[in-house]
Structures are given as structure tokens and as C-alpha cells.
Chain A
Amino acid sequence: MISLNWIIGILVAGFISWAFYSNRKNKYSKAREIKKEITEEQEKWLESNQLSYRQIQDRKFALSKYVKETIIDDSFDKKQLLELIDDWADLQVKSFEDRRSWVRKPKEN
């Protein structure tokens, strides 16, 4: 005849095994989610045709030159356009740098 203590022991062992299994499953699915997020982010970067620092500076120079040559007078619109180009370039550089790991961010170290 199985005693109550044995039944309790078996129940507890069952619960603990279930806990280990369940914990493993949950942690696995979380780890997979994080991996998926990172992979998707990397793919997005690849698809977004990100410009390098040099390309951004070249395009900024070319656009600024075009605006300066096309709009001759020092109008408010010209100033705004040049500011917009500067802001665009800064944002592009920031976006470019945000992609980089510590290895290629010497300023931070």
C-alpha cells in the first residue's frame, strides 16, 4: 500500500519536473523572440540602403552647392534649405553611427 508521504513525494517531484520543463520552454521562446528582433533589425538596415559617413558628406556637399548656385539671393528659403540639408546629414550620420558596435565607436571609449 502506497503511503500518503509517497504520494506527496511523487506529486512534488512531478511539479518540480514540470517547473523545469515549463521554465525551459518559456526562456527558449523569449530567447527566440530577442534573436528574431535583432535579426529583423539587421535585415532592415541592409534593406534601407544606409549611407556611409563619406557618402553622407558627399551628398550634403553636393546638395548645399546646388542650393547656393540655384538660389542666388540670400533669402529666408535658401537659409532654411541649407539648414534642412545640415539636419538631414546629422540625422543620417547619427543613424549610421547607431548601427555600429563599440569596436567602431572610438569616441565613446
Chain B
Amino acid sequence: MSNNDQQNSGGFAKTTDFKWLSVSIVIFVLLGFATPPLQSMVQKAAELFPNLSPELIALKAKHIQITIALLATCVIFFATEAIPMPAVALLIGLVQLLFGITEPSRIVSTYAHDAVWFIAGSLAIGATLVKYKLDKRIGIIVINLAGTNTRKIVFAILLGTAIPTAFVGEHAIASMFVPIAVALYTITNRTTSAPNLGRLLLMTIAVGCMVGGPMSPTGGARNAIMIGFLSNIGVEVSFGQWLSMGVFYTVIMSGIMALILPMVFKPEVSDLGEAVTVLKQDLEKHGSMTKKQWLVTAIMTMVIFLWITDKSITKQVMGFSLGLGGVAMLGAVTYMILGLTSWKDYESNVSWGVIVLYAGAISLGAVFKSTGAASWLAGTIMSVTAPLGMDSGLPLIILVIIIGATLTNLMSAGATVAVIGPVILDMASKSGTNPLIVGIILAISTSMAFWLVIGTPASSIVYSSGKLEPGDFIRNAVIAWPIAIIVAIVMVAFYWINILNIPLQP
């Protein structure tokens, strides 16, 4: 595995870091066993399980305490990658088993959810698209349509990275666009020294990948996890519904960033005519699309159509919907049946560790809900936020956006949703705020990892090109991060509530 792969491995390629493993164990023991359960935990257990004897209520309170300890331990694991990430996912089940929180026969079912199938199927479809170099076709289309004006090229790259990122992994899109940006910069730099142009084009790729993820459920595992959490509390989100909610953020942020990025990284040249001509000549040599590429594209289009119509046309025709996971698997298996890809390809090109990790996140969410730990933690947080007036409605949503946008800069977006998702949803339910709004806005806010080079895989990829410094990310984030937060708030307050007519109180 190359260094670059290791950097973007998200803790899958690492072995145990014993220092942080020891810290995690200490935290688990301190929080879970150093003191008896808090009185508020006992009260919560009595409230949730009113028919149990005092001894059993004490046991349930202990389960709440152990689950909170497990959450804190997971935060340390997600932040430090002290043990391989899939091992964290499996540990979540093992803790439930060893401390009698979940019955042995039910442990596996806590990992099982349509969202897990959805992640697996989406990754397999993405791997097939990349295998047939369809990601590169997007790059070719963008350059052919963008024109030669620098600002127009920036906008085209923003949309050209954002829209595909909503369907294919961002690392594939970023890796594909970096050579295009470097070529445009290098060719221009031969005649005019243009370091800012290089910075601008590369930063555009990172930003495009960040603003594209929220657009659709396939835009990142964090979205699928949130769909899973929402489904566990009886709120079903269709692909079309998410798309209609998320597209606002992607389009508006792309437009705004197309104006802001050239102001932050003022390009030395306003027209890239010469560089675009040379690049187009190279790209023309790739020829037109092959029959197999068209077939792969057609199946992908069919999958997207089925995702969008799953709760309408499919349900009417078949009498039931296939679910996001069912449709994703249908696409992944169709590729294999038609001989377009093999199981070996899926074995090599799909990150199965990611699937295990997010199945673990679903399990963590399930145990959080079943023990009452989510309810207890939500109540505790609300007792602090209530005096500030931030415990319900729009103020709660603003709080969620700020928490999500901050935490995602400290750990991965998926981990952020996995750790705080169940608690946030419980806060929404308790306060009478629509969990659909709160849940989806949390997933969207975790895309705002603007501050750091290591914020997202796409940021790390553009940084490794050698043209950007950590300070460049901070220069961009000083403006982009607060704007993203404002766009998210405006989106909820005006677009979701007033135009899409999603009620703030369900």
C-alpha cells in the first residue's frame, strides 16, 4: 500500500497504538466502573422500564453508564485510530455481549440495517465506475464545457467535483481532477508565474468535494448512517427527499465559493486559453466512450432512477419499495451478472472495512437507543442548553450545525454522525423538533471540514500535490466555514421549512 493510501486509509491500515489503547481502557473503566451509576441514570432507567424491580432498574442504569463509557472510548478510538477501525466496530458488539447489555442472539441484528447494504452496494457501484474510468470522462466533459475564463473554470470544477461526489467516493473524484488542475497550472506557469492559480484550482477541487457530499444519500457513509438512525426512530427518508433537501446546499455553496475562492487566491491570469487548448488536445486522444462504458453508465442511471422512484413508482408497481440498500445491491449484482466486473474486483476495490465500521456505528446507535443512554445524554445536554434557549426549534438546529461543523474538523464526518447522531435525534424528539430536519442537517454540517489539510480525504489529496500549504486551508476556511454555516441555517429556515414545507414540529 502506498503512503498516499495509508494516509487516506482512515485507520484501516494501522496496527494498534498501545498508548492510546491504554488511555481508552482507562477512560472506559473510569466512566463505566469507578463510581455507581448517577442518580439521574437510575431515574431514566425507572422511567424507561417502569415495570422492573429495583434490582433490575439498577442493572439497566448500569447499562446506561457502560454505554456512555463505550461512547467516550469510541470517541478516543475514532480520534486517534488507536486500533484498526473495523476492530472498533466489532468491539461495540463485544462490549454489549460481555456486559450483558444485549442478548447474544440479538447482537448480530444490531449491526443489520438497510443502510449497511446501501453503503456496500454504493461502494461496489462506485468501484465499477472507477474501473471503467467513467470518473475521468467527467473530467473530460468539464474541460470541454468550461471555456477558458479562469472564474468559469473554477465554477465548472466546483460543479464537476461536487455533483459526482454525491454519487462516487470523493477520493476518486479528487484524484482524477488533480492532474487536470496541475496541467492547467503547469502549462500557464511556463509563460506566466502563477502560484496563486495552482492554489486556486487545487483548493477548488477540495471545496467541490466537500460541498458535493451533502447532496445525496450516496454522498458519504455519514448520510447512510443518518438514514439508518432516522429509520430506527420511525422516520423514513427516500433518496428523492434527501436529494431535494441537499441540492440547495451544494448548488448555493458552489455558486458562493466560485466567487470567494478567486478572491482568496487571486489568480495571476484571467484567461487559460493556451492551457485549455493543450489540455483538450491531450484529452481528445482518449477517444469516445466504449460500449462497455455506455453499459456501465446506463446501469448507473437505472440505479439512480430506481433510488428516486423507490417510494413512488416502484412501490406502486411492486406493492413494496426495494429500499436504498436493495436498489444499490441490484446495481452491484447486475454489474457482476453482465460480466462487467468480478467478485475479485469488488474484493480488491471496495473498502470492506468501511462497511464493517459503519455497521458498527449502526449497532452503537441501536444500543444507545435501547439502553436509554441516548435519552439520558440528550436530557443532560438539554438541561444545559435550555437556559440558553437552544433546546428546541431553530436554535437547536443552529446548535446542531455548529457542533457538527466543529467536530468534523476534529474527527471524520462518519464518526461524528455515529457518535452524536443518536443523542441529537433524541434531543429533537424530546423537544418536539422534527428529527428529519435535525438529522439531515447534522449529516450536512459534518461536510464542513474546511479548516485542516487532514479534514477530508480530498483535502489530503490536493495537499499532497505540493502546491498548497496548511495556511491556505485556513485562509479559505476563515471565510468558507462561517458562510457554510449561514447557508445551512438559511437552507433550513427558508428552503426546507417554507418551500419544501417540511414542518419544524412534526
Are B453 and A28 neighbours in the complex by a CB distance under 8 Å? yes
Partner of B283, one of A24, A35, A103: A103
Which single residue of chain A is at the shortest CB-CB distance from B72? Answer: A12
A55 within 8 A of B: no
Which single residue of chain B is at the shortest CB-CB distance from A9? Answer: B31
CB distance from B449 to the nearest CB of A (A): 12
Are B38 and A39 neighbours in the complex by a CB distance under 8 Å? no
Interfacial residues of chain B within 139-180, with CB under 8 A of chain A in the complex: 139, 176, 178-180
Are A109 and B466 neighbours in the complex by a CB distance under 8 Å? no
A38-B465 contact, Cβ under 8 Å, with A20-B410, A31-B7, A103-B283: yes
Q: CA A33 – CA B453 in complex, angstroms? A: 13
Are A109 and B464 neighbours in the complex by a CB distance under 8 Å? no
Are A106 and B7 neighbours in the complex by a CB distance under 8 Å? no
Are A16 and B287 neighbours in the complex by a CB distance under 8 Å? no
Q: CA A16 – CA B133 in complex, angstroms? A: 42
Q: Which residues of B contact A102 (CB under 8 A)?
A: 133, 136, 176, 179
Contact with A along B30-63 (1 / 0, CB 8 A): 1100110010000000000000000000000000
Partner of B183, one of A5, A101, A106: A101
Which single residue of chain B is at the shortest CB-CB distance from A33? Answer: B3
Contact with A along B169-203 (1 / 0, CB 8 A): 00000001011101100000000000000000000
Are B466 and A15 neighbours in the complex by a CB distance under 8 Å? no
Q: CA A22 – CA B283 in complex, angstroms? A: 43
Name B's A-contacting residues (CB within 8 A).
3-4, 6-7, 20, 23, 26-27, 30-31, 34-35, 38, 72, 75-76, 79-81, 133, 136, 139, 176, 178-180, 182-183, 279, 282-283, 285-287, 410-411, 452-454, 460, 463-466, 470
Name A's B-contacting residues (CB within 8 A).
4-5, 8, 11-12, 15-16, 18-20, 22-24, 27-28, 30-31, 33-35, 37-39, 42, 101-104, 106, 108-109
13 contacts between A and B (CB under 8 A): A4-B34, A5-B38, A15-B27, A16-B72, A20-B79, A20-B410, A23-B80, A24-B452, A31-B453, A31-B460, A31-B463, A102-B179, A103-B183
